[in-house]
Amino acid sequence: MAFSRDPLDELVVPDGTEAQERALVTDGDVLVGGRATVEFGVRGRNVLAGESAAFGGDIEADGDCRLDMWCDVAENVLVGQDAYIGERVHVGGKLKVAGDLDIGDDVEIEEGFEANGWIVIRNPMPTIVFLFVYLKHLLLIGEDDAAQRLVSELVEDDEDGEPEAEPLVIPRNATVGDDAWRVSTPATIGDNCRLHGNVRAETIDVGANCNIFGSLRARDDVTVGEGARIHGDLTTRDGDVEIASDARILGDVSCEDLELGPDAEIDGTIRAAGEITMGTTERDLE
- The Cα 98–Cα 189 span in angstroms is 32
Q: How far is CA 80 from the centre of its chain?
A: 21
Q: What are the DSSP E strand ranges found in 171-233?
A: 175-176, 180-182, 187-189, 194-196, 198-201, 204-206, 211-213, 216-218, 222-224, 229-230
Averaged pLDDT for residues 259-279:
94
248 pLDDT higher than 60: yes
pLDDT band at 138 (very low <50, low <70, confident <90, very high): low
For residue 133, the SS3 value is: helix
The pLDDT tens digits of the residues spanning 33-69 come to 999 999 999 999 999 999 999 999 999 999 999 999 9
pLDDT band at 283 (very low <50, low <70, confident <90, very high): very low
Measure the CA angle with vertex 104, ends 102 and 106; round to 5°.
Answer: 145
For the purposes of burial, counting CB atoms within 10 Å of the CB of 209, is it exposed (0-12), middle (13-18) or buried (19 or more)? Answer: middle
pLDDT band at 1 (very low <50, low <70, confident <90, very high): very low
Residue % of the chain over a pLDDT of 70: 80
75 pLDDT higher than 50: yes
pLDDT band at 246 (very low <50, low <70, confident <90, very high): very high
**Structure-derived torsion over alpha carbons of residues 24, 28, 33, 39, reported in degrees to the nearest 10:** 10
Stated pTM of the model: 0.84
Is residue 97 within 8 Å of 113, Cβ to Cβ? yes
Buried b (16+ CB within 10 A) or exposed e, 70-106: bbbbbbbbbbbbbbbbbbbbbbbbbbbbbebbbbbee
For residue 150, the SS3 value is: helix
Comparing CA positions, the residue from 206, 140, 6 lying closest to residue 31 is 6
pLDDT band at 4 (very low <50, low <70, confident <90, very high): very low
* DSSP 8-state class, residue 218: E
The pLDDT tens digits of the residues spanning 144-196 come to 666 666 565 555 544 454 556 789 999 999 999 989 999 999 999 999 999 99
Given this model, what pLDDT does residue 202 score? 97
286 pLDDT higher than 50: no
* DSSP 8-state class, residue 163: B
pLDDT band at 79 (very low <50, low <70, confident <90, very high): very high
Higher-pLDDT residue of 9 and 170 is: 170
Comparing CA positions, the residue from 188, 181, 190, 241 lying closest to residue 214 is 181
The pLDDT tens digits of the residues spanning 214-235 come to 999 999 999 999 999 999 999 9
